[in-house]
Structure formats: structure tokens, C-alpha cells
Amino acid sequence: MKAFFSLLICAAAVTAEAQTTAPTPVQATVSTGISSQMRVPDNFGPVFQQINTEVQANSKAYDNLKYATENIGHRLTGSANGAKAEAYVYQLLKSYGYGVKYQPFEVESWSRISNETKIGDSEKELKKVNSVTLAHSPVKASVFGELIDLGNGLEADYTKDGGKVKGKIALVYLGVLPGSPEKTPYLHRSEKAAIAIQHGATGIILINGVKGGVLLTGTASVTGKLIPIPALCIGLEDGMALKETLKNKQQYASLNMNNFSGLIKARNVIATLKGSTLPAEKIVVGGHLDSWDLATGAIDNGIGSFAIIDMARTLKKLNLKTARTLEFVLFMGEEQGLLGSKAYIAAEQKQNTLDKVRFMLNYDMANNPKGFSTSRKEMKDLFTAWGSDINQLDTGFKNIFYAGAGLHSDHQPFLLEGIPTGGGAGEVLPNNSGPFYHSDGDVFSLVDDQELRNTVRFSAMLAYALANTPNIPVSRQSDEVLKKFLQDHDLEMPLKIAGEWKW
């Protein structure tokens, strides 16, 4: 889904829905050198060269991901396939020489059983429309009602509606409608569903912004719990035709669905490279292993999670040591509401060790970075200094630097605790794969071997440098500093909608 923190950089090049997760940069610069005031604390160039050579010659990311897609399939949290993926990754990391552990957590599992959507002029004149259920819709729903066009599905659209949606079904565009006013907010599908529920809608139909009838799934819940109304997605062409029809006459919809929900256990997989001189301080390198069930999740998030696994393999193969501890974390439950990363944060809080997490690098739909991104602009000198070294190895790495903040991937729980986050910048998904995320088109043939290697080698260099630099110039933000930071990045409104604004 998901320019910053990997997931986010690709947003501009993919779908309108993907843009809902992309933060607005507060700083966007291309850097070719380093500040004259700043001294690079260590020369990482020789190690970067080692990493570069090893990954280019021996990367296993592409082959491992191919095996997983062919032999496991999708990696839905709570499913048998999800458990197989957890075990496969555990054994892979163990085979590379790591101490590996599972971090179990309990989740409200959700999966689809059946769905039928019909739309027409009256209850007796309904025609079937292709649709896909959005996750965390009710276990059973049978709703008939009048359709109301709510445009972008923002609070202002409902206010303008004057309360007419109550007891009816909301029709909402998934991203931002073409021709919308400049600076129209991008909201996640779950936030749009929450607004519809608040205003009394009995169902919500979201129009995907991708041509060709592509149906997109994903969670419609801001909490990871069941919502009280059915939520589904229809294709762009069907949706825009329906909007035109509604300008002249009333339309009605019948939404019938059956789904499964129940408490199950899932497991994050954690491999640890213990630091030598600052072992209590941690750099978390994470991304989600789980995927939706419509396809194999090769892009979302196979390319991110299997890049992380190969970063870990590379550092072990080269017997590289780090001052700080590196934790490579494969999260489950991201798609259902960041459940695995929230469980990780809860475990750190319980052990009173959250202050020891110095940085979190997130790789979600990460592909072929051209630079580095971070939530903290104070990192610019270090990131661009390391980027200059990388550029000397490969001029394809343009040393782009972005600073900003966004939501809706596994960096979010860390960000909301004031922990600095980051990842790749300038990324573009391979083979025009953006429109197919969360759909049945997210398959292995979209993956590009060399671009995946680029993610591994450049990201491993960043992780190594962060774990070894004598001084990281940012630390965890206090609550008051964090509050202003989130407000400055226009995150107060979506966090309030999600019930995660603690002030």
C-alpha cells in the first residue's frame, strides 16, 4: 500500500489508494555531498563495498520469494498458509546462523467466505456487480438500501450531505477524485469507513481508482476489529458509471456477505545480531511478512520482507559486527491493522526497554531505492554522507533525501511512541505492479531480480551504518514534542478518526 519508509515512496507511482498512505514531505532534496560542518564519524566505504559485492553475486532474496509464492501461496495472518510462512522464514534465518525467536500474539482473524453485490433502479431490478469484500466487514450481512454518492468520503462530504446518508449505503471514491480541490486530504479506506459508520450509513461501497476493473481488498477497520456495516470495493469503470447514473435517478444496492472471524495466534519472527559495544541499543529493521489472500503478495510485501531476510543473510555471510544490536523483524498482521508491530511495541513497553530502540527502518513494498527517507530531518547529514559513499559504488543510487511522516505501515506504532523511523526514498515499483497491490494480480512475475538486489544492498548498508555510527543525532521524542510533530505533519485528523490520538 504503502515513498517514505519504503511503502510510502512508491505511492506517487502507483494507485490513488496508495497515495492515501503517503505523507507530505516537509523536506525533499537531492544531495550530492555532505555539510561542510559535518564530519563523517567512520569510513564505511570498504564495508559498503563488501556488502555490494556479496549481494550482487549471491543474493537469495529473489529465489526465496519465488519458492514462497510457489509453495506457500498467500500469507494471510491466522491461516495455515500464514503459519507456513512464519515457519519458513524462521528456518531460513536460522540456516544463516541467527538466533531466531517467535513473538506470538493473539489476533482477531478474518477471512472471506462469500459475497454478492447487486445494484439497480429498484429492489426488483438489481444486477450483479463485481466486488470484493473489505476485511473486518461483519461475519454475516444482508443489507438493502438506497445509494448516496458521498464523493471522497470525507467529513466535509457528509456535512454537505446534510445527514441524508443515515440508513442508506454510502458510495465513496477510494483515493481522491480527479478534479477535487487542491490539498484535499487523502484518507485510508478504513478511515473513510469509520466516517460512514459515524454518520449512520448501513453500508459502504468504495470505488477503486485503477482502470481495468481491478478489485482491491484491505481492511475497512481502524482498530483491527469487526466493523458493524458491510464494506466492499468495486471497479473504477462500474463505480464511475454508477456516479453518473446517480446524478439523474435513484439507485439501490443489495449487499450480502458471509465472512469468518475468530481469535487465533500469529507470530512475528525476530532474528538478532547482537551489538558488541552498545548491545542494549537496538536498530529495528522490519517489514510485514503477511499478505492478503487474493494472490501471493509478491509485491505487498514479499519484496520488502524477503529483502530484509537477505539483508540479515548478507551481514552474517560477511561476518560483520555492529556496535548496536540489529533486530530483523518480520511482522504478521500488518494488513489487519498493524497488529504484529503493535505487539512488538507492547512487548518492549512491558520489559521497559522501549527507550533502547534508537531507530526503526521499515520496508513495505520497498523496491530499488534511490536514496533514504526518515521521519527526522536531523538525519540529513548522516544519511547523505553514507549515500555519497553508496553513489560512488553505483551511480544509479541518486542519494535522494526525504524527511516527513505518514501512517499505515509497521513504522506507525514506533512513530507514535516518538521513535525515529526511516527507509528507502525515490522508489518505484517494478513492472507497473502498483495497481495490482491487494488484488489477485499481485504475483511473482511482477518482481524484478536486480531491483530487489538493489533494495537489499543499499538497505543493508544503511542498517549497518546506523548500527555502527558513534552518534545518532536524534532520540525518542517526549509526548509534547511528539504531539507538535504529528500536528505539523497533518496527522492529527487521521489519528483521531482511528482513535489513536492520545492527547
Which residues face 107 on adjacent strands?
264
pLDDT tens figures, 222-267: 988 999 999 999 999 999 999 999 999 999 999 999 999 998 899 9
What pTM was computed for the model? 0.90
Write down the pLDDT at residue 107. 77
Q: What is the mean pLDDT of residues 132-137?
A: 97
Owner of C-alpha cell 446534510: 162
> Do residues 194 and 181 both lie within one domain?
yes
108 sits in which H/E element: strand 99-120
The dihedral built from the CA positions of residue 234, 238, 241 and 245, taken in this order, carries a sign that is negative
Residue 483 lies in a domain: yes
| DSSP letter string, 27-80 | EEEE-SS--TT---SS--HHHHHHHHHHHHHH--HHHHHHHHHHHT----TTSH
> Do residues 122 and 211 both lie within one domain?
yes
**β pairing state of 252-273 and 324-331:** antiparallel
Q: What is the mean pLDDT of residues 368-374?
A: 98
Among 355, 318, 243, 423, smallest CA distance to 50 is for 318
- Identify whether the C-beta of residue 218 lies closer than 8 Å to the C-beta of residue 188: no
DSSP 129: E
Among 308, 303, 357, smallest CA distance to 467 is for 357
Write down the pLDDT at residue 86. 98
Q: What is the mean pLDDT of residues 434-440?
A: 94
Residue bearing the bigger pLDDT, 328 or 33: 328
Length of the chain: 503
Residue 172 lies in a domain: yes
Residues 297 and 444: their CA atoms lie apart, in Å, by 8
At 9, is the pLDDT very low, low, confident or very high (cuts 50, 70, 90)? very low
> Do residues 76 and 137 both lie within one domain?
no
Q: What is the mean pLDDT of residues 418-428?
A: 98
- Provide the Cα torsion 467, 453, 32, 35; round to 10°: 0
Which distant-in-sequence residues (6+ apart) come within 8 Å of 3 by Cβ? 9, 10, 11, 12, 22, 23, 25, 373, 402, 406, 425, 427
| Average predicted confidence (pLDDT) for the chain | 92
Owner of C-alpha cell 533494495: 455
- Identify whether the C-beta of residue 123 lies closer than 8 Å to the C-beta of residue 252: yes
Among 362, 361, 366, smallest CA distance to 303 is for 366
Residue 502 lies in a domain: no
Full domain range(s) for residue 378 = 9-108+263-497
- Identify whether the C-beta of residue 493 lies closer than 8 Å to the C-beta of residue 194: no
Q: What is the mean pLDDT of residues 474-488?
A: 98
Residues 350 and 336: their CA atoms lie apart, in Å, by 23
> Do residues 375 and 474 both lie within one domain?
yes
Write down the pLDDT at residue 5. 36
Of the three residues 215, 245, 262, the one that is the final residue of a domain is 262
Write down the pLDDT at residue 24. 31
Residue 375 lies in a domain: yes
155 sits in which H/E element: helix 155-161
Domain count for the chain, please give it. Answer: 2
**Cell numbers placing 111:** 477471512
Residue 76 lies in a domain: yes
User: What's the CATH code of the domain at 127?
Assistant: 3.50.30.30
User: Is pLDDT of 17 > 90?
Assistant: no
Of the three residues 216, 236, 262, the one that is the final residue of a domain is 262
Residue 1 lies in a domain: no
Number of CB atoms found within 10 A of residue 104's CB = 12
Q: For the chain, what percent of residues have pLDDT higher than 90?
A: 88
Which residues face 390 on adjacent strands?
none
Residue 62 lies in a domain: yes
Residues 105 and 495: their CA atoms lie apart, in Å, by 24
Which distant-in-sequence residues (6+ apart) come within 8 Å of 292 by Cβ? 74, 76, 135, 217, 218, 300, 335, 438, 442
> Do residues 21 and 136 both lie within one domain?
no
Residue bearing the bigger pLDDT, 29 or 296: 296
At 42, is the pLDDT very low, low, confident or very high (cuts 50, 70, 90)? low
- Identify whether the C-beta of residue 287 lies closer than 8 Å to the C-beta of residue 335: no
> Do residues 155 and 19 both lie within one domain?
no
- Identify whether the C-beta of residue 293 lies closer than 8 Å to the C-beta of residue 79: yes
User: Is pLDDT of 32 > 80?
Assistant: no
> Do residues 307 and 249 both lie within one domain?
no
pLDDT tens figures, 375-398: 999 999 999 999 999 999 999 999
pLDDT tens figures, 52-102: 999 999 999 999 999 999 999 999 999 999 999 999 999 999 999 999 999
User: Is pLDDT of 30 > 50?
Assistant: no
User: Is pLDDT of 35 > 80?
Assistant: no
User: Is pLDDT of 281 > 60?
Assistant: yes
Q: What is the mean pLDDT of residues 359-363?
A: 98
User: Is pLDDT of 503 > 50?
Assistant: yes
Residues 287 and 312: their CA atoms lie apart, in Å, by 13
Write down the pLDDT at residue 2. 54
Write down the pLDDT at residue 383. 98
CA geometry: angle at 199 spanning 198 and 204, to 5°? 90
Of the three residues 239, 262, 285, the one that is the final residue of a domain is 262
User: What's the CATH code of the domain at 68?
Assistant: 3.40.630.10
Number of CB atoms found within 10 A of residue 120's CB = 16
| DSSP letter string, 308-373 | HHHHHHHHHHTT---SEEEEEEEES-STTTSHHHHHHHHHHHHTT-GGGEEEEEE-SS--S-SEEE
> Do residues 122 and 242 both lie within one domain?
yes
Q: For the chain, what percent of residues have pLDDT higher than 70?
A: 92
Residue 463 lies in a domain: yes
> Do residues 257 and 272 both lie within one domain?
no
Which residues face 108 on adjacent strands?
263
What string of H, E and C letters represents the secondary structure of 254-317?
EEEEEEEEEEEEEEEEEEEECCCCEEEEEEEEEEECCCCCCCCCHHHHHHHHHHHHHHHHHHHH
> Do residues 242 and 296 both lie within one domain?
no
> Do residues 195 and 283 both lie within one domain?
no
> Do residues 228 and 140 both lie within one domain?
yes
Residue bearing the bigger pLDDT, 107 or 483: 483
Number of CB atoms found within 10 A of residue 276's CB = 13
